[in-house]
Amino acid sequence: MSKLVTIYGGSGFLGRYVAQRLAKQGWRVRAAVRRPNEAGFLRPYGAVGQVEPIFCNIRDDASVAAAMQGADVVINCVGVGGTYGKNNMQAVHVEGAARIARIAAAQGVAGLVHVSAIGADAEGPSAYFQSKGEGEAAVLEAFENAVVLRPSLMFGPEDGFINLYASMSRFGPFMPVIGANTRVQPVFVDDVAAAVEKAAIGAVPAGTYELGGPEVLTIRALVEKVLGIIRRKKILLPQPGFVARMMAGGLDLAQSLTMGLFTNSLINRDQVKSLAVDNVVSDGAAGFEALGIVPTPMEAELPEYMWKFRPSGQYAAIKESAAKLKV
């Protein structure tokens, strides 16, 4: 019988790529998600019945244990960027991660892959980095042979960072940039999924791996690169820290006052803190090279899905070609 993998957060940004890769490997894939009725798009990744979205509440022992029952390998791709409601960073990154690892060890699961983030540190500058660091420690305490993967800023068709800036470029001549001088090492989401796949099939030893793309650049340079790809010119306005904190604080307050009717999906105060520190692979850290993976350059992927943000959309290339014709 084919091996079974349970992917917590299997319908998320990274989880869907992991599910697709392991389905191609012939594994049975159980995607443990909050809303299985919205995860039906996962089913065509495999043969009939091979990929199954199921309900799971990561805050509940019984729910996590049921989703894991019979699994050969468990993968935790769950992550959040805010501190609101019951599914906050403490509940998900720390308690949820610890719960998955503890139950996996109790059930005798052969392998555990935990997706964290570069910058994870219990003493870090933001609640996000702190919770990721505490989560890693809890996972390794319960499941010492786990593989921990720390990606930098991930990009892909469904990402919430590059797509946000590209969407903002449609309005007005100016574009605010928070953390303009902070360095990042953008990594293609499917490259991270390839690392998860290798860890899941037992092709890499236990340990912690930091995953960054082939290019290190500032957030300002990243935004400029995106604007070049989507053929738009904007005046960039780097935001001082106090201005960014005021903007984020106002959005957070609006969400609190409306009791969640308004969802702050732009920037929150904790994200401002995270964007104030570099997010690149540490010197001497094991990474893609140790996994035998060559990371994908941004230029190889961004044009494939960013064309929709160009002024002429899918016709941009045709117009540019026609402009070069001599009458």
Instruction: State percent of the chain over pLDDT 70.
Output: 95
pLDDT in tens, 40-73: 999 999 999 999 999 999 999 999 999 999 999 9
Sign of CA dihedral 39, 45, 48, 49: negative
* CA pair distance 215, 210, nearest whole angstrom: 14
Own/partner pairs, 290-295, CB within 8 angstroms, 24+ separation: 290/204, 290/209, 291/194, 291/195, 291/198, 291/204, 291/209, 292/198, 293/191, 293/194, 293/195, 293/198, 295/187, 295/188, 295/191, 295/211, 295/212, 295/213, 295/214
Structure tokens at 189: 């989401």
What would the pLDDT profile of 298-327 be if each residue is shown by its tens digit?
999 999 999 999 997 776 666 666 666 665
**Tens-digit pLDDT profile for residues 9-22:** 999 999 999 999 99
282-291 per-position pLDDT tens digit: 999 999 999 9
Q: What is the pLDDT of residues 164-175, one digit of tens each?
A: 999 999 999 999
- pLDDT-derived band of residue 1, with 50, 70 and 90 as boundaries? low
pLDDT tens digits, 248-273 = 889 888 888 887 677 787 888 999 99
- Please choose, from the candidates 159, 109, 114, the residue with its C-alpha nearest in 3D space to the C-alpha of residue 133: 114
Q: How many CB atoms lie within 10 A of CB 187?
A: 28
C-alpha distances (whole Å) from 49 to each of 8, 24, 107 are 18, 14, 24
Average pLDDT of 218-242? 95
The reported pLDDT for the residue numbered 166 is 93
* Domain 4-155+185-214+279-295 bears CATH identifier 3.40.50.720: yes
pTM for the model: 0.93
Query: Domain-by-domain residue ranges, the chain?
Result: 4-155+185-214+279-295
CA dist 77 and 6 (Å) reads 10
Residue 226 predicted with pLDDT over 90:
yes
Written as six digits, the tokens of 143 are 């499941």
Please, which residues bridge with residue 148 across strands?
114, 208
Contacts 24+ apart (CB under 8 A), 255-258: 255/84
- pLDDT value, residue 255: 83
For residue 321, the model assigns a pLDDT of: 65
Write the CB contacts of 219 (distance below 8 Å, at least 6 apart in sequence): 177, 178, 179, 180, 181, 182, 184, 275
The pLDDT tens digits of the residues spanning 130-140 come to 999 999 999 99
3-state secondary structure of 195: helix
Tens-digit pLDDT profile for residues 72-118: 999 999 999 876 678 899 999 999 999 999 999 999 999 999 999 99
- For residues 221-238, give the mean pLDDT: 95
